[in-house]
Structure 1
Amino acid sequence: MKEQGKIFMGLAAFVLVMAIVYGVWTMNSDLGIEAAGTTALALAFALCVFIGFYLGFTAKRVDTGAGDNPEAEVADDAGELGFFAPHSWQPLSLAIGGALAFLGVIFGWWLLYWSIPIIVIGLFGWVFEFYRGENQNQ
């Protein structure tokens, strides 16, 4: 994870330089800096910094992986990657609720009355999925 963190921090530095270059290049004496592209690049920089910081911070707390060892073989990274939930219907509920919420922005805020309960039900169902039903931990 340490290497991935360095890659994202390097990407963040590149995007910051490009944001500055883009802002200077598109500067108009009458209108100022072109706002949409400069803002998008600044937000991309912030996202790269967030991901790079998270990966670097997490790398300090977990064991060194095969990706951080320059002499590692491909087979060194084989094995169990973690626990992943079996089939779940909760993401479908969240997707439907999210789609209705975004449609509410387009067609009218009244759609949020139906979308928010669907999102809440899907969120609680996903969080507490392993506390009830066939996937309950014993």
Structure 2
Amino acid sequence: MIALIQRVLSASVTIEGEICGEIGPGLLVLLGVEQGDDEQKAKKLCDKMIGYRIFGDENDKMNLNVKQVSGSLLVVSQFTLVADTKKGNRPGFSQGATPQEAERLYDYFCGECREKGIMTQTGRFAADMKVALVNNGPVTFWLQV
């Protein structure tokens, strides 16, 4: 399971001209689900992401996590994160989970984040989404479990 996280001042996801998820300060989370991923990996990734200290403290050092700054999450499914790009000019997706399994684990991941007390907005699984963000930093990290 892979999460590309971006520290944002704001982010939103629009589907067919309608905003379906929107946050202020927090994290935009692009989530990719691989074959073999399960609830344990989803929970571990959620815990790691929520505890990841990438927000500035009073000395502007990255010592605070999203919960400590009362930040929100916008979680967007992105199967292209699991692409094999090692050879050729076209990515391969054979390592990705089936759409049904990916959607199930995406929903589970979002539920875990909510259970930990983080306001969590989402896109819509497998929809054609337009994602807008104001990256703060920019600060972007790749987390994988």
Which has the greater radius of gyration? 1
For the superposition of Structure 1 and Structure 2, which TM-score range results when normalised by the shorter chain?
under 0.3
Bigger RCO (CA 8 Å, 6+ sep): 2
Q: Give the helix-richer structure, 1 or 2.
A: 1
Higher strand share: 2
Q: TM-score scaled to structure 2, two decimals?
A: 0.19
